[in-house]
Chains A and B, each alone.
Chain A
Amino acid sequence: MDVFSYFNYWVVVVLMMLGFFIVIARGNLVKKLIGLNIFQTSVFILYISIGNVSGGAAPILEEGVALYSNPLPHVLILTAIVVGIATTAVGLALVVRIHAAYDSVEESEILAQDEPC
């Protein structure tokens, strides 16, 4: 089945759109960050799927195994995961500060407290 052989990529597309939609549509700053995380996670899955070689073993040197999966995308995405965590941390720290300053994490309520910036 063609659809199922690309299962990973379908998941990626669905997650990506879900995350993106949450970022755009939600007014809650924490939910926006969660959406951003889902969006980033979909890209992680995309990279990990790229690394798969059909029939390939895990990329650990061993006798009798000739075909390995490509480990490079995994290593790359390890870096991207760290970046994602850092982004989330900075974002959440900002939300904490915003909450302290405005006493709300709803975008509409915050915007109502100041003239537009």
Chain B
Amino acid sequence: MLSQLPVLPVLLPLIGAPACALLRRPTLAWVFACLVAVLAFLCTVSLFTTTWQEGVQTYALGGWPSPWGIEYRIDLLNALVLLVVSGIGAAILLASRASVWQEIGETRRGLFYVACLLCLAGLLGIAATGDAFNLFVFLEISSLSTYALVAMGPDRRALLAAYNYLIMGTIGATFILIGIGFLYMLTGTLSMADLGERLPAMGESRTAFAAYAFIVVGVCLKLALFPLHLWLPGAYTRAPSIVTVFLAATSTKVALYVLIRFTYSVFHLEFSQLAQALDTVFIALGVIAVFAGSLVAIFEADLKRGLAYSSVAQIGFMVIGLGIGTVEGLQASLIHLFNHALMKGALFLALAAFILRVGSSNFSSLRGIGRRMPLATAAFVLAGISLIGIPGTAGFISKWYLVLAAAAQQQWILLGLILAGSLLTAVYIWRFVETAYAEPEGDSVIQRNEAPLGMLLVIVLLALLNLYFGFDSRLPVETAGGAAQALLGGDAS
């Protein structure tokens, strides 16, 4: 059992998905999907602690050892991403029932959970695998199920959003495929560890450069880094509320992981001339993403769409950390990856609860929501405060490390820009606070109408986790630190 641990989080949902399709009753499908997701989460927790104590875990699929077969290789970075994705995934599935029952037709509810499990399997597979081509396959598994999930959105614009996402996503995935093809041409291997050993020895090869360019553009499409973010607001806004929570909290995180993995473990760009130029590009795009995303979010009339643009901005922060290119920068980026999943999970899930009760995510219809749904609103505000980065919340920790990393490189302008970007976050969160606690227009009778219990529990739990990791930040900070050290220390193990 224990020796199979690295593969279990991926296998459980992958086998669970077709099994789930056999269940006729939607409630059964929901219970089954939750069960699978929670089991996968327990496996990743166990995997995380094992990796934490014993170092890198490997698993050769089918018994074929590494350069020949597909190897799952779990180091701290993989373990962290697996933990975030499966944890948030399980929490969201548990909370999903009321919202899904409202937004999705009866015949499709069972299939909705099948697609959720497939998407989870794909995302966990990306985070677990040590094989470049296997990564592409899992990427497509998660992407295809995501297109289906987005298309289940309540109005017809969801279809167009899903179609646009499909076109952009497939171009991105095909770019990654081209990049992997070049790598195989150059080295004759697909194992990431093996590639990492052979590629630096090739020197500044133009093929390797082209491969990296293709992979970066492809992954950035998936990551929705400015200016490749065009699919994201549409998809997030039109998708069913639960799918938006799921996407915002997990799929961009996994894309960031892929970018980090390829940059440092496969291409070892920390030793390369290219790194300098690339860092500037990442920082510039990250800063633009922060400002463009935040500014659009401030003026957006629809809260769901506003939060989607806010995701573009937060991805900018993570990429800035990556662009700083030091151990501290990478650590900040990974901490923000962890914390942002918690924040956006709580924010979008609270929003799903509002939509469930109010029927719309427009600011005008959310007036006075703070009196109707005090707990969910409080959780939203708490997560929002964390998003801004006020001390005492998880968001502060990630911003703090990001600022420290910029200061260590004496990039004072960048430091100022990061702080200014955080202030913009405060503007759109404040706008919600103002609306939520304002007097509703017209009739003054306000009925308390909280979200359903299961949903409310998860919302409050996620919001409290934001608070908890603001005070006791050892888990994300130390894991991210260890992972960043392993990536940049030139120590491949």
Contact = CB atoms under 8 A, between A and B. Distances in A.
Interface stretch (B14-22, B164-172, B193-201, B260-268): B164-172
B237 interface: yes
Contact of B160 (A20, A76, A117): A117
A95 B137 CA distance: 24
A114 B157 contact: yes
B167 A36 contact: yes
Interface residues of A, number: 29
A40 B178 CA distance: 10
A50 B136 CA distance: 18
A78 to B, nearest CB: 11
Interface residues of B, number: 30
Contact of A98 (B137, B144, B159, B173): B159
A97 B155 CA distance: 12
B170 A32 contact: no
A76 B133 contact: yes
Interface of A is mostly: helix
A5 B289 CA distance: 44
B144 A43 contact: no
A94 B171 contact: no
A104 to B, nearest CB: 11
Interface string B208-237: 000000000000000000000000001001
Nearest to A46: B181
A88 B248 CA distance: 25
Interface in B478-493: none
Q: Which interface residue of A47, A101, A114, A117 has the most chain B CB atoms within 10 A? A: A117
B170 A40 contact: yes
Contacts of B156: 98, 101-102, 114
A79 B170 contact: no
Contacts of A86: 140, 144
B437 interface: no
A18 interface: no
Interface of B: 133, 136-137, 140, 144, 147-148, 151, 156-157, 159-163, 166-167, 170-171, 173-174, 177-178, 181, 184-185, 190, 234, 237-238
Interface of A: 20, 23, 29, 32, 36, 39-40, 43, 46-47, 50, 73, 76, 79-80, 83, 86-87, 90-91, 94-95, 97-98, 101-102, 110, 114, 117
Instruction: Identify the 9 closest CB pairs spanning chains A and B, nearest first.
Output: A101-B156, A117-B157, A83-B140, A98-B159, A94-B163, A97-B159, A117-B234, A50-B185, A87-B170
